Amino acid sequence: MKNNKRYKLIILFCLCFLAVANVNAQSDWQVPAKDNENLSPFLFDDDMILEGRVAYENSCTSCHGTPGQDDFTPMSPPPGDPAAEQFQAQSDGSLFYKIKMGRASMPKFEDAFADDELWNIVAYIRSFNENYKQQLPNMEGVEIPVYAMKLSFDQNVDKLVVKVLAEELPQAEVSVSAYVMGTFGKHLLGKAQTNELGIAYVDVDPALPGDAEGKVNVLVKATKEFARAKVQQDLAIAMPTEIHSAIEGRHIWSTDRMAPIWLKITFFVSVFGVWFALLFIVFGLRNIKRAREES
């Protein structure tokens, strides 16, 4: 009996240890103090949660599972369920930092998502916490400029030229990131800072294929402190490319309608030829019958 109790104790101890170790794995991850205190400049509203959900389902579900279901993939260290307490105990800034920077088997999403999209994901994760109360940055006395952007392309140096203005005045030291919109995600062309003329240059690979006119859909984001702006438009910055259908021409593998002509002719000429001869013989059998009547 006593022995039994002892075993139970040992098991309990082990379990406790494991749990602590698990938490440790999470808390192991040192987030710089400044990032830890980082706050979302956006209010986590339903729109953000919805967008965060789409992003989460595309990029996070495969490891973290559906929040609240505890169905994350068993890995080492365990990815954990974002709805779980140890997840929710972290600050917004910490979650944001971890998603953005990644570590070991947690991918780095810095290039995949812009900051506002990362906050969408944080908003979605927070939506599973009933007790969560969003802490917002102190905005009092902060003047937030409204940016306008003008995009152009300098063919001579293959550079995308981004001019950032606020009330007609050029804005310096604005971080600009430019993306090409692909079918399934956006490809980072590059990041740059505006100069004192409010202009940032982003390199464009001249080999990048565009449509027949060389146009691609470009997304440019500009951020500086709380000020943010984005613009998305078709720009002729890429190589004009003629797009071919994958099934052009006549091949053995084409559909019957697009079969090679030589094959169609050969097939039908031989089949109909032989059957013509056969029908000739079958009809000719009447001659045998007639040959009797003549005699």
Partner 1 sequence: MNMANKNDKSRRRFLQKLGIAGASTVAGSALLLQGCSDSNQASGNKVKVLTADNKLVEVDVAHLKPGDKIQDLSYLQKRGREGIPGKKFVMVVDLAKCKNARKCMKACQSAHQLKPEMHHLNVLEMEDPVKKTSYWMPKTCQHCDNPPCVSVCPVDATFKRQDGIVLIDNERCIGCRFCVAACPYSARTFNWTEPKNSDKMADVTYDMELNVPQKKGTVTKCAFSADQLRYGKLPYCVSACPNGVYYFGDQNEDLVTNGTTKKTVRLSHLLEENAAYTLMPELGTKPSVYYLPPRESEG
Partner 2 sequence: MNETIAKEHLSEEQIDQDLLKNVNWGGKFKLWMGFLTVSLIICLYYYYQQLQNGLGVTGLHDYVSWGIYISNFVFFVATSLIGMLVSSVLGMMKVDWVRPVSRIAELVAVAFAMVAGLIIITDMGRPDRLLNVFIHGRVQSPIVWDIAVVVTYVAISALLLYIPMLPDIALCRDKLNNVPKWQQKMYQRLSLGWNNTAKQFRLMNRYTRMLLILIIPIALSIHTVTSWLFAMTLRSGWDSPIFGPYFVSGAFVAGCAAVIIAMYFFRSNYKLKDYITSDHFDRMGKLLVLVALVYVYFNINEIIVPGYKANTADAKHVHEMLYGHDSVMFWLVQLGGLVIPFLLILFRPMRKPLPLTIIAVIILAGAWFKRVLIVVPTQLAPYYPIQNVPEAWSGYSPTTPEIAITIASFILVLMIITVLAKLFPVVPIWEVKEEMNHNNNK
Footprint of partner 2 (CB under 8 A): 252-256, 259-260, 263-264, 267-268, 271, 274-275, 277-278, 281-282, 284-285, 287-289, 291-295
* Residue 249 CB, nearest approach to partner 2 (Å): 14
Determine the Cα angle at 69 with ends 63 and 75, to 5°.
Answer: 30
Q: How far apart are CA 167 and CA 238, in angstroms?
A: 31
* Residue 259 CB, nearest approach to partner 1 (Å): 10
Query: Of 8, 19, 150, 182, which one interacts with partner 1 (CB under 8 A)?
Result: 182
Which residues between 8 and 37 bind partner 1 (CB under 8 A)?
Answer: none
Query: Of 24, 27, 69, 105, which one interacts with partner 1 (CB under 8 A)?
Result: 105
Under rule CB under 8 A, residue 97 binds partner 1: no
Residue number, 27 or 254, with CB nearest to partner 2: 254
* Residue 279 CB, nearest approach to partner 1 (Å): 25
Binds 295, which of partner 1, partner 2, none (CB < 5 to 8 A, cut-off by type)?
partner 2
Binds 182, which of partner 1, partner 2, none (CB < 5 to 8 A, cut-off by type)?
partner 1
227 three-state secondary structure: strand
Under rule CB under 8 A, residue 251 binds partner 1: yes
Which 3-state string (H, E, C) describes the chain? Answer: CHHHHHHHHHHHHHHHHHHHHHHHHHHCCCCCHHHHCCCCCCCCCHHHHHHHHHHHHHHCHHHHCCCCCCCCCCCCCCCCCCCCHHHHCCCHHHHHHHHHHCECCECCCCCCCCHHHHHHHHHHHHCCCCCCCCCCCCCCCCCCCCEEEEEEEECCCCEEEEEEEECCEECCCCEEEEEEECCCCEEEEEEEECCCCCEEEEECCCCCECCCCCEEEEEEEEEECCEEEEEEEEEECCECCCCCCCCCCCCCCCCHHHCCHHHHHHHHHHHHHHHHHHHHHHHHHHHHHHHHHHC
Which residues between 192 and 221 bind partner 1 (CB under 8 A)?
Answer: 205, 207-209, 216, 219
The site that binds partner 1 (CB under 8 A) totals a number of residues, namely: 63
Binds 225, which of partner 1, partner 2, none (CB < 5 to 8 A, cut-off by type)?
none
Query: Of 186, 201, 220, 235, which one interacts with partner 1 (CB under 8 A)?
Result: 186
Do you know the residue count of the chain? 295
Residue number, 252 or 261, with CB nearest to partner 1: 252
Whether the upstream peptide bond of residue 206 has omega within 30° of 0, thus cis, is no
Residue number, 136 or 274, with CB nearest to partner 1: 136
Residues interacting with partner 1, by CB under 8 A?
A: 41-43, 45, 47-48, 51, 54-55, 57-59, 61-63, 73, 75, 105, 107-109, 111-114, 116-117, 120, 136, 139, 144, 146, 180-188, 205, 207-209, 216, 219, 226-230, 241, 243, 245-247, 251-256
